Amino acid sequence: MHSLYVFDFLTTVSLQLKEKLEGLDETILNKKSLSELAQYQRENDSQHGVYVIHYGGVPKYVGKANNVSDRLGQHLTKLSGRKGIDLDLIGYKTLLLDKSMSTAANEDILISMFKQEHQDMWNGGGFGPKDPGKERDTTKPGPFDQAYPIIDEYPIELKTDESGAIKLRDVVSTMKEQLPYVFRYNIPAEALERTIVLGGEDRRARSLLKVIVSFLGSGWKGAIISYGMVLYETSKHYPHGEEINP
C-alpha cells in the first residue's frame, strides 16, 4: 500500500492563530492603548501582525497589517466618523508575528475561520478600504456603510479673519485633514486661491460643502455618499448619495 501525505501548513497555522487570538483578553481601542501597542512593537522590534476588532465583545473584523498599531489607528479614525458607533464598545486583540511567521499567516483563511462562527462580520462589507476609489462613488453601499453612514455634520475647525474670509484651498485642505472619512475633490489651482467668506456660516462638513459648491458655481457638484464626501465639476449622477448643487 502507498499514499501521499499533504500537510496543510497554512490552515494549521491559521487555526493556531485563531486559538491564540481568542485566548487573549480584549483591549479597548483608543489612542492610549494604541500608544502602548506601538511601544510594545518597538521594544520587540516587531511591526507585522494579525488582529481582530471587536464591537460589543463580538468579533467584527479580522485583518493583517505590516504595522498593526498604525492600521488599528486608521480603523479607529474611520469608526469615529460613523453614525451609530459607540467608541466605548470597540476593542481589539492582536498577535505580532516574527519575520518567519508573517508570510505564513494567511489573512483569507483566518477570515473564513472567524466567519464560520460570526457571519455578520465587517470583512467584505466595505469596512476595510481606506478609500474605495471613484468607481465606488456611484455603486450601492456595502453592509457596513449602510448600517453606519458617515457623520455628515462633523465639526471642522477653521481659522478665518474677522470677516470670516479664508482661502478656498485652506477650507478644503483643512476638511480633508480633519474629517475621519474620505473627502475627495479636484479643484483648479486658480480657484483654490480665491477667497471665500464664511461669515457666520455653520462650520460643519455638510454646511461647508454646500457653501463651497455654491461658491464654485454652475457645473460643480458635491455629494454625500455612504463612506465620505466628494466635490467635482461634473455631470455625474450619484444614485446612492445626496447630491449638493449650486
Looking at residue 8, its pLDDT comes to: 64
- Angle (CA) 43 46 47, round 5°: 120
Looking at residue 100, its pLDDT comes to: 63
The CATH number assigned to the domain with range 9-117 reads 3.40.1440
Looking at residue 119, its pLDDT comes to: 87
Looking at residue 10, its pLDDT comes to: 76
Looking at residue 195, its pLDDT comes to: 96
SS3 163: coil
Write out the residue limits of the CATH 3.40.1440 domain(s) in the chain.
9-117
Cell numbers for 217, please give them. Answer: 458655481
- Ramachandran quadrant class, 77 (left: phi over 0; alpha: psi -120 to 50; beta: rest): alpha
Q: Minimal CA–CA distance to 126: which of 113, 139, 109?
A: 139
Per-10-residue mean pLDDT, the chain, length 246: 63 88 97 97 93 97 95 97 97 88 77 92 86 76 93 95 92 97 96 91 91 96 95 94 95
**In contact, 91 and 28? CB cutoff 8 Å:** yes
Looking at residue 186, its pLDDT comes to: 96
Looking at residue 9, its pLDDT comes to: 64
Looking at residue 23, its pLDDT comes to: 95
Looking at residue 6, its pLDDT comes to: 58
